[in-house]
């Protein structure tokens, strides 16, 4: 059949064609495979290895922070948490419900967990709860067998045994920000639960404290389960940091201040060691180590006691009369003999204005002027030597300066002089400003650390520089560019403030047999006293709302005859330096010389404080007038400066 | 004498080289499945081995079936399989899900698998009896097109793009071999290419996504593109000679999805390398070449077309699966014959080989 033969030829041709197609396909497939396996072998071998091997970081343990005696201020405590691998867990909601039965999970926790799960590959563990306590951890461990994807984890959490007493010095640790990761590109910052220093020493010494992460190379399967360990490089813990602080002293000071808003700085005059750097009230860094509760954060921000501000370094205050020793030293340096006297009849006239003193002191020389805090004497001397001499002396004493400390920030404050005035306001300096500045009012602004340094320099005669790191090499200080006898005059005046007849801080003498304290009170106006008010009679501090009361200041040193410690105290809105600040200084310094005595006093103070609080509560309950119930410290002699009247 | 008896002679006459090659491919498949299970006969290798042995026996028995019988029952077989296909479709619609199999209690049968073979037999029969002059006419063209389109559409509805593709490709191969004028092939071919966007729109969303991700696997590294990416990593990291038996990390650590079914070629390539892959492809090539030669030597149209069509069906299995695994084709569910774990495909392929062996036996004999 011709048709059949034709059909067979067609068939054969087409079958041969399809055979060719098959051969071509075979060549194509083999070629493709050769391309993948040979030409691109390196790339895919790497990808396969990247799949197989997972580098798991071992976060380093953070270095301890200890006080001068080696007592821990910041340490690490073991913490237990729970993670979930979504790829293994199956039904996430059911898994969370099971975990929730052991560890309560709030709605916001669940929201965060679900966000985390959605944002990451399913094989990456998601933190469900941290710091759940050992019992919950043990309970979860029992569920391991029947819950896939559950991972109890052990880690370390920063712990601050002294709580808020060292809040501002130490700062706190918290999770790194996305920006910090972008800058450093350090994978450690992405490690769940890893914390870095956010403030204080924790922030300033972060590189020392952090240490180096270790790593574990593990073989993982596609679902993130670890098949076996390949090798491990151990972590290097951060180095311990020893501070010059005295844990007992600062804790004592914090307890003494209680709820009050105050800053207390104690410096060792010989070494510059900062023994106490208290800013109260503060936050509890233990709470900040974990997630900061937003309600707490709001409360801290809203509080008028400013618990988030490190007052000892960043709080700026008008120094008031604590500035007078500077003016006195400036006068001596300018050649004014300490015996030069001034007659104080309660007022000082300059042009058509009258400047007030807070008493009629009669004939005062320098020593008496300091002891009595006589404004008229300092007005007279400051006008004689000029303001710039006073400002220069203030800088020599350490005011208006920042010091080398492992702290993230310090505020410099202001020591006003002619150049400053011109630059700031474009106006020439006036004599009225000289009068205001020389008694530490007006534009003069200092921080408590500067006041303490000033006191230490005055007490030791050395250019004391404060230090906070105990293991830093000690440097010998230069002597101050002042003759010893001039310093002695001022120190004598300050001795009289506390111990002399009619001294402003006589009530705060150290109650110790062999140690005396020298010092100077100060009261810094928060509001301006108007002429009308002055005519009516100045309103007593206790009658004012807290925010409008004067700041109470005190600087001191002890022992008076061979000064070892210098102290500065600022009690915000405390009323008067003598009434609120000097007793604090007395009790804190007592701790350094007679610890037992100090603790007994503190116990009595706390009992009294509680009695008053109960009384106040009762009074409030009875809806009695608040003023009647809470009469505070006795009204000491005021060193309030007078404005133009 | 036993050797002169009828049965032993018929058995001895079989092309044992090809049969041994089939056994070798299947045996290699078992080795790969053994490794895929982490060096264990369970759960895959032992079950697959048993199945393979039983189906090999069935293949030898089918090889004794007369070509005349296949010719006679080509349409009834097609009709039964088509009815079964409609049946599962209806049942699937009733149960409210996609259902592809008939559960006979001891085995689940996918009618669509049998359709791959039935379409070849039915079309071969159609062309066998079709007068030469009608091959290029409408009257000679719409019945085969309908015979292809109806089951393909039903399978598409399941939805099973891979199997539908296989049915269409197998059917068109028979039409091509049957002598369809070239203008009827290239014309509609061009039209089909032009119609691709329309076809694309008819696909299910997940199928569309697969096609898009095929074109750019890195666009979805953790989702559907994951399959292709991980498969390429497995093959590429195998290199020339592979990582060694039981040493494949991609498969053992479960990065490679479906390591024992559709992506078994990648599992194999990771451990045996380019050498293993090329040898496996060569083995398939020899079987395919033998199938085409059976077709070309045959005296009757039916045997030619059945042998050629089945050979092409086997070819499409291998081509689509391996191309997909290497990232040359979208991911459609087509197993690698004799190697992938699973009963249905293995049954189809060994039945195919059984029929092919039968055709080989009768290539010289007239059918009537």
Name the closest residue on chain B to residue A17, using Cα atoms: B177
What is the per-residue pLDDT for A327? Answer: 96
Kindly indicate the confidence band of residue B363, based on its pLDDT and cuts at 50, 70 and 90: low
- Report the alpha-carbon distance of residue A507 to residue A513 in Å, rounded: 16
Segment B295-314 shows an average pLDDT of 94
Q: Taking residues B318-346, what's their average pLDDT?
A: 90
Helix (H, G, I), strand (E, B) or coil at A555: strand
- pLDDT < 70 positions in chain A: 1-3, 123, 527-542, 623-645
Domain boundary among A242, A266, A285: A242
- A14 within some domain: no
Q: What is the dihedral of CA B8, B13, B18, B19, to 10 degrees?
A: -10
Domain contains A605: no
Sign of CA dihedral A80, A86, A92, A94: negative
Residue B5's pLDDT band, with cuts at 50, 70 and 90, is low
Residues of A in contact with B282 (CB under 8 A): 26
A 10 A CB-CB count for A50 gives: 11
A624: tokens are 């009695």
How many angstroms away from the CA of A19 is the closest CA of chain B?
7
Q: Is A3 on the interface with B (CB under 8 A)?
A: yes
pLDDT at B119: 96
Among residues A210, A242, A274, the one where a domain terminates is A242
Longest Cα–Cα distance of chain B, Å, equals 69
CB contact (8 A) between residue A29 and residue B312: no
Give the pLDDT score at B225: 75
pLDDT at residue A299 in the model? 87
Contacts of B265 in chain A (CB under 8 A): none
Here the ipTM equals: 0.92
Are residues A636 and A523 in contact, defined by beta-carbon separation less than 8 angstroms?
no
pLDDT of residue A540: 67
pLDDT at A635 (0 to 100): 44
Structural domain includes residue A439: yes
The CATH code of the domain that includes A91 is 3.90.1310.10
- Give Cα separations from A583 to A306, A506, B82 (angstroms): 23, 10, 104
Question: Is residue A382 domain-shared with residue A471, that is, in the same domain?
Answer: yes
Which residues in chain A are closer than 8 Å to B238, comparing Cβ atoms? Answer: 37
The answer to whether residue A436 sits within a structural domain is: yes
Contact flag B233-A51 (C-beta cutoff 8 Å)? yes
Residue A558 lies in a domain: yes
Task: Report which secondary-structure segment, H or E, holds A228.
Answer: strand A226-233
Nearest-Cα distance to chain A for B288, in Å, is: 8
Q: Within 10 A of B90 (CB to CB), how many other CB atoms are there?
A: 11
Number of domains in chain A: 2
- Among B177, B236, B281, beta carbon nearest to A43: B236
Q: B176 contacts in A (CB within 8 Å)?
A: 14, 18
Beta strand A551-558 pairing with A518-524: antiparallel
**A468: closest CA among A405, A409, A412, A410?**
A405
Same domain, A221 and A336: no
* Chain B interface includes A607 (CB < 8 A): no
Q: Which of residues 535-574 of A touch B (CB under 8 A)?
A: none
B269 touches A: beta carbon within 8 Å = yes
Pair (A232, A340) in one structural domain: no
Which B residues 277-296 touch A at CB under 8 Å? 277-278, 281-282, 285, 288-289, 292, 295-296
- In a domain? residue A644: no
Count of CB pairs separated by less than 8 Å, A with B: 129
Q: Same domain for A235 and A317? A: no
Distance CA A331, CA A311 (A): 31
- Distance from C-alpha of A460 to C-alpha of A482, rounded to nearest angstrom: 12
User: Tens digits of per-residue pLDDT, B217-234?
Assistant: 666 666 667 888 899 999
* CB atoms A221 and B254 under 8 Å: yes
Chain B residues lying within 8 Å of A85, measured CB to CB: none
Q: What is the pLDDT of residues A136-185, one digit of tens each?
A: 888 888 887 777 778 888 888 899 999 999 999 999 998 888 888 888 88
- pLDDT tens column, A14-56: 999 999 999 999 999 999 999 999 999 999 999 999 888 888 8
Report chain A's C-alpha Rg in angstroms.
35
CATH number, position A375:
3.40.710.10
Q: Is residue A64 part of a domain?
A: yes
State whether B255 and A223 contact (CB < 8 Å): no
CB contact under 8 A, A15 and B308: yes
Q: Residues A436, A520: one domain?
A: yes
Q: Please, are residues A320 and A439 in contact by the beta-carbon 8 Å criterion?
A: yes
With residue A197 as reference, give the H or E element that holds it.
Answer: strand A196-197
| A200-215 exposure pattern, b = at least 16 Cβ within 10 A, e = fewer | bbbbbbbebbbbebbb
Residues A183 and A74 in one domain: yes
Structure tokens at A165: 């007493």
| Residues A409 and A506 reside in one and the same domain | yes
Residue A21 placed within a domain: no
Are residues A399 and A454 in contact, defined by beta-carbon separation less than 8 angstroms?
yes
* pTM exceeding 0.90: no
Domain boundary among A191, A213, A242: A242
Whole domain around residue A207: which residue ranges?
57-242
Q: Say whether both A232 and A364 belong to one domain.
A: no
Does residue A318 share a domain with residue A434?
Answer: yes
């Amino acid at each position: 059949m011709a048709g059949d033969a034709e059909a067979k030829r067609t068939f054969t041709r087409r079958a041969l064609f399809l055979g060719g197609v098959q051969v071509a396909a075979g060549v194509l497939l083999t070629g493709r495979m050769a391309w993948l396996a040979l030409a691109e072998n390196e790339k895919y071998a790497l990808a396969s290895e990247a799949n197989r091997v997972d580098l798991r970081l071992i976060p380093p343990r953070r270095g301890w922070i200890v006080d001068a005696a080696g007592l821990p201020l910041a340490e690490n405590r073991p913490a237990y948490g729970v993670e979930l691998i979504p790829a293994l867990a199956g039904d996430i909601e059911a898994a969370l419900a099971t975990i929730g039965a052991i560890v309560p999970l709030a709605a916001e926790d669940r929201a965060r967990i679900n966000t985390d799960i959605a944002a990451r590959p399913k094989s990456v563990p998601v933190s469900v709860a941290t710091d759940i306590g050992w019992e919950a951890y043990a309970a979860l461990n029992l569920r391991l067998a029947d819950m896939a994807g559950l991972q109890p984890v052990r880690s370390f959490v920063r712990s601050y045994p002294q709580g808020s007493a060292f809040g501002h010095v130490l700062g706190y640790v918290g999770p790194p920000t996305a920006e910090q990761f972008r800058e450093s590109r350090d994978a450690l910052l992405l490690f769940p639960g890893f914390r870095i220093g956010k403030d204080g020493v924790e922030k300033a010494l972060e590189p020392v404290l952090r240490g180096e992460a270790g790593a574990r190379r593990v073989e993982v399967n596609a679902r993130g389960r670890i098949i076996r360990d390949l090798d491990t490089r151990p972590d290097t813990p951060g180095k311990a940091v020893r501070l010059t602080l005295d844990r007992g002293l600062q804790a004592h000071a914090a307890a003494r201040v209680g709820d009050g808003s105050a800053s207390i700085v104690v410096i060792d005059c010989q070494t510059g060691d900062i023994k106490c750097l208290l800013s109260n009230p503060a936050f509890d860094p233990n709470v900040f180590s974990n997630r900061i509760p937003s309600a707490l954060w709001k409360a801290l921000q809203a509080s008028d006691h400013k618990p988030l501000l490190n007052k000892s370094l960043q709080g700026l205050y008008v120094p008031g009369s604590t500035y007078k020793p500077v003016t006195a030293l400036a006068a001596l340096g300018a050649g004014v003999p300490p015996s030069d006297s001034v007659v104080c009849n309660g007022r000082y006239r300059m042009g058509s204005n009258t400047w007030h003193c807070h008493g009629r002191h009669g004939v005062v020389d320098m020593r008496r002027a300091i002891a009595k805090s006589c404004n008229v004497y300092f007005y007279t001397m400051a006008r004689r030597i000029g303001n710039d001499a006073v400002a220069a002396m203030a800088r020599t004493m350490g005011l208006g300066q920042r010091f080398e400390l492992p702290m993230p920030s310090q505020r410099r404050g202001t020591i006003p002089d002619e150049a400053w005035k011109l630059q700031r306001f474009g106006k020439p300096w006036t004599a009225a400003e000289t009068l205001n500045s020389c008694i530490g009012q007006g534009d003069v602004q200092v921080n408590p650390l500067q006041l303490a340094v000033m006191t230490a320099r005055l007490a030791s005669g050395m250019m004391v520089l404060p230090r906070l790191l105990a293991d830093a090499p000690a440097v010998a200080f230069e002597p101050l560019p002042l003759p010893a006898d001039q310093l002695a005059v001022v120190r004598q005046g300050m001795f009289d403030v506390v111990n002399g007849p009619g001294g402003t801080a006589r009530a705060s003498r150290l109650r110790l047999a062999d140690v005396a304290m020298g010092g100077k009170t100060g009261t810094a106006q928060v509001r301006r006293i108007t002429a009308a008010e002055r005519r009516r009679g100045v309103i007593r501090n206790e009658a004012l709302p807290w925010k409008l009361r004067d700041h109470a200041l005190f600087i001191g040193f002890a022992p008076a005859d061979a000064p070892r410690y210098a102290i500065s105290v600022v009690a915000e809105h405390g009323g008067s330096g003598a009434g609120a600040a000097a007793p604090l200084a007395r009790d804190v310094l007592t701790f350094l010389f007679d610890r037992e005595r100090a603790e007994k006093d503190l116990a009595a103070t706390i009992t009294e404080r509680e009695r008053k609080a109960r009384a106040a509560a009762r009074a409030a309950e009875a809806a009695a007038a608040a003023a009647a119930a809470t009469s505070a410290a006795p009204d000491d002699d005021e060193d309030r400066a007078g404005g133009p009247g | 004498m036993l050797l002169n008896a009828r049965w032993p002679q018929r058995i001895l006459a079989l092309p044992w080289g090809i049969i041994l090659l089939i056994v070798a491919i299947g045996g290699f498949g078992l080795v790969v499945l053994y490794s895929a299970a982490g060096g264990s006969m369970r759960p895959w290798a032992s079950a697959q081995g048993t199945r393979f042995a039983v189906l090999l026996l069935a293949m030898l028995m089918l090889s004794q079936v007369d070509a005349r019988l296949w010719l006679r029952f080509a349409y009834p077989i097609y009709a039964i399989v088509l009815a079964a296909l409609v049946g599962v479709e209806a049942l699937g619609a009733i149960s409210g899900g996609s259902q592809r199999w008939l559960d006979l209690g001891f085995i689940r049968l996918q009618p669509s698998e049998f359709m791959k073979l039935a379409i070849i037999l039915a079309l071969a029969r159609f062309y066998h009896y079709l007068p030469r002059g009608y091959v290029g006419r409408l009257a000679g063209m719409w019945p085969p097109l309908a015979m292809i389109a109806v089951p393909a559409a039903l399978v598409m509805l399941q939805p099973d793009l891979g199997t539908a593709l296989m049915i269409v490709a197998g059917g068109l191969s028979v039409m091509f071999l049957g002598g369809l004028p070239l203008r009827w092939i290239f014309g509609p071919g061009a039209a089909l290419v032009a119609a691709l966007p329309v076809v694309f729109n008819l696909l299910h969303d997940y199928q569309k996504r697969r096609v898009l991700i095929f074109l750019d696997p890195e666009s979805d590294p953790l989702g559907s593109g994951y399959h292709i990416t991980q498969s390429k990593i497995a093959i590429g990291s195998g290199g020339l000679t592979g990582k060694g038996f039981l040493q494949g990390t991609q498969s053992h650590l479960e990065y490679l999805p479906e390591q024992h079914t559709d992506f078994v070629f990648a599992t194999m390539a990771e451990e045996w390398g380019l050498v293993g892959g090329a040898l496996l492809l060569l083995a398939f090539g020899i079987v395919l070449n033998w199938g085409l030669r059976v077709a070309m030597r045959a005296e009757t149209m039916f045997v030619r077309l059945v042998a050629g069509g089945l050979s092409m069906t086997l070819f499409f299995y291998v081509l689509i699966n391996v191309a997909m695994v290497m990232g040359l084709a979208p991911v459609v569910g087509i197993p690698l014959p004799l190697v992938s774990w699973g009963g249905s495909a293995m049954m189809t392929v060994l039945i195919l080989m059984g029929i092919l062996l039968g055709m080989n036996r009768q290539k010289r004999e007239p059918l009537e």
